[in-house]
Copies of this chain bind each other. A is one copy, B any other.
Amino acid sequence: MAREMLRQGGRSARIQEAVHRTVKELLAQMDRSEITVPMIAEKAGVPPSTIYRRWGDLSDLLADVALERLRPIADPEDTGAMGSDIETFIVDYAEEMSSDVGRGMYSDILGSSSDSAARCCHYTIHHLETLRQRAEGRGEPGFEVDAAMDKIVAPIVYHILFQDKAVTPDYCRALVSDFLGGKG
């Protein structure tokens, strides 16, 4: 009776929550290559068929969990000026994403055939758009978000992924300074 009273949306949300939480716990305990759908299903208390029906396969589920972790929960910090807003956002982003956890999220997002990679980009574009609007609201000249993606975000993500060069705060600041200087 109690079960029948649960609305579909409520049950659906609870399954999502249980499965996501289980994946995060497993990722903290073992290498992702050891994780399987039956293992997640057993620990989360849902049938494996529910996971396959809802998420497709393991790579799509891992991508969904990674994307959920990356979903913006707050606007980037307001430091009072466009240059320092962009710098703070970018240095924090690079620090988070070059950690083992960050690299694992990229790997999950890029390993999936779903549209999670493009959605991940759009989170970053959304944040930069917030910074652009804030700058223009202050009477600052603003900047092109697409150009910031190409000239600041892309090289940082490239070097994090390919591990050919350390992505230091100084490197990030030089990219921002080069980008803003090039606009003057």
A interface residues, Cβ below 8 angstroms from B: 33, 57, 59, 106-107, 110-111, 115, 117-118, 120-122, 125, 149-151, 153-155, 157-159, 161-164, 175, 182
**Copies per assembly:** 2
Contacts of A111 in B (CB 8 A): 107, 111
Contacts of A149 in B (CB 8 A): 155, 158
> Taking A107-B111, A111-B111, A150-B175 as contacts, is the C-beta distance between A117 and B57 under 8 angstroms?
no
> Taking A110-B107, A158-B153 as contacts, is the C-beta distance between A163 and B118 under 8 angstroms?
yes
A162 to B120, Cβ gap below 8 A?
yes
Contact of A158 among B57, B59, B154 (CB under 8 A): B154
Residue of B nearest to A182 (CB): B182
Contact of A118 among B153, B154, B162 (CB under 8 A): B162
Residue of B nearest to A58 (CB): B33
Contacts of A106 in B (CB 8 A): 110
Contacts of A122 in B (CB 8 A): 164
A108, chain B: closest CB distance, angstroms: 10
Contacts of A155 in B (CB 8 A): 149-151, 154-155
Residue of B nearest to A146 (CB): B165
B163 to A117, Cβ gap below 8 A?
yes
Contacts of A157 in B (CB 8 A): 154, 158
